[in-house]
Amino acid sequence: MKLSTKGRYGVKAMFELALSTALNDEPVSIKMIAEKQNISEYYLEQLFASLRKAKLIKSIRGAQGGYVLAKPPKDITVADILNVLEGPVEISDCISDEDSSCSRSGYCATRLLWIKIYDSVNQVINSITLQDMLNDYYEMQKTNILQRGE
Amino acid sequence: MKLSTKGRYGVKAMFELALSTALNDEPVSIKMIAEKQNISEYYLEQLFASLRKAKLIKSIRGAQGGYVLAKPPKDITVADILNVLEGPVEISDCISDEDSSCSRSGYCATRLLWIKIYDSVNQVINSITLQDMLNDYYEMQKTNILQRGE
DNA sequence: AGATATCCTATCTTTTTACTCGGAATTCGA
DNA sequence: TCGAATTCCGAGTAAAAAGATAGGATATCT
């Protein structure tokens, strides 16, 4: 069970936008993020297209353009991002699909299991916002400075 | 984020073996399970080969042979099964890999996120054993009988 | 002996993932 | 107004993973 690069790149990129929002609210270009993360510009472009259609980010076209978050970081959860890029978390079909094969006698015990895993993941990603990640990040920086004297 | 059929078929099949263990301790053949679950015998055979090598099940060859659990249901967790069939749960590389790209400045916040999701999933699957699933199943049957009169 | 199973390895198809490309449209700044 | 920077859009493609199939060897029960 692993996220694809879409989810991983996407969350990192959104975090990048959140950092910029907090700092100076200037648009960030795909090029800059792609360089920072060392990934393909073209590929990231596609991810951003999805995020824009889902209204999580806004684009500013033309020179010196780029992207900004469409909402404050506190109003964007990790689940919002992952749902767009990875599709909804579905451990197994039979969570939603009542009439699938696993609704037969004897298989409900596994269905209950999938639901437990599903709930667990969703509880985490629904509760963590970009703002929370920013806070963690600031906290981490502070700690590092104290410990390493950098 | 979704389990592949390997994980889903595998857990269901192991549950099937657990039911048999509890009932009469007789070996169950691949054919029986494949029919019950309506999936390919050949495919299931491969999954069982992995589970056997991981010593989660034992095989009994020859006519009237089949498979049985290698340990009591209470000693087999869902994580044991999923680790064999899906590989370990890795939300992202950078949980384990300290020197990956995400260890650069600015990306540690996402790493923390992956760890939180990872821990959450693992907590669930490590804590649920086949015995727990059996208990849930018996409980569910009891309730259904009372409610539906079947 | 014959039926029933596992065991082992190889192959094949389909789907998904990850990535690339070319060019149009838009906007800023000089 | 020109040109550079940038998003926007649709198409294409290579590699990997998932899912499934096949055939024959080996073991064991009746």
What pLDDT digit, counting tens, does each position of B92-132 carry?
A: 666 555 444 444 544 578 889 999 999 999 999 999 999 99
pLDDT at residue A103 is higher than 50: no
pLDDT at position B42 is 95
Residue of B nearest to A16 (CA): B106
A120–B120 CB contact, under 8 Å: yes
Interchain contact A15–B (C-beta under 8 A): yes
d(CA B75, CA A75): 43
Q: What residues in chain B have per-residue pLDDT under 70?
A: 91-107, 144-150
Looking up tokens 């906290």, which residue turns up?
A139
Note whether B7 contacts A: Cβ–Cβ < 8 A: yes
Chain centroid to CA B113: how far?
A: 25
Cβ–Cβ under 8 Å, residues B14 and B57? yes
Residue-number span of the structural domain to which B117 is assigned? 5-147
pLDDT at A102 > cutoff 60: no
Of all residues in chain A, the percent with pLDDT exceeding 70 is: 83
C1' of D1 to CA of A85 (Å): 41
Q: Is A110 on the interface with B (CB under 8 A)?
A: yes
pLDDT at A88: 76
Q: Within 10 Å of residue A144's Cβ, how many Cβ atoms?
A: 13
Q: What is the pLDDT of residues A70-79, one digit of tens each?
A: 999 999 999 9
Count up the domains in chain A and report the number. Answer: 1
Confidence check: pLDDT of A68 > 70? yes
Tell me which residue has tokens 């790149």: A9
- pLDDT score at B105: 46
| Strand C proximal residues, A:38-77, Cβ < 7 Å | 39-40, 42-43, 45-46, 60-65
What pLDDT was estimated at residue A149? 45
CA distances from B136 to A109, B72, B143 (A): 6, 17, 11
Q: What is the pLDDT of residue A124?
A: 96
pLDDT at B132: 97
Mean pLDDT of chain A, nearest integer: 87
pLDDT at B143: 78
pLDDT, tens only, A35-63: 998 899 999 999 999 999 999 999 999 99
Of the two residues A141 and A43, the one the predictor is more confident about is: A43
> Å between B81 CA and C8 C1'?
22
Q: Could you tell me the CATH number of the domain that includes residue A44?
A: 1.10.10.10
CA distance B62 to chain A (A): 27
Residue contact B7–A15, C-beta within 8 A: no
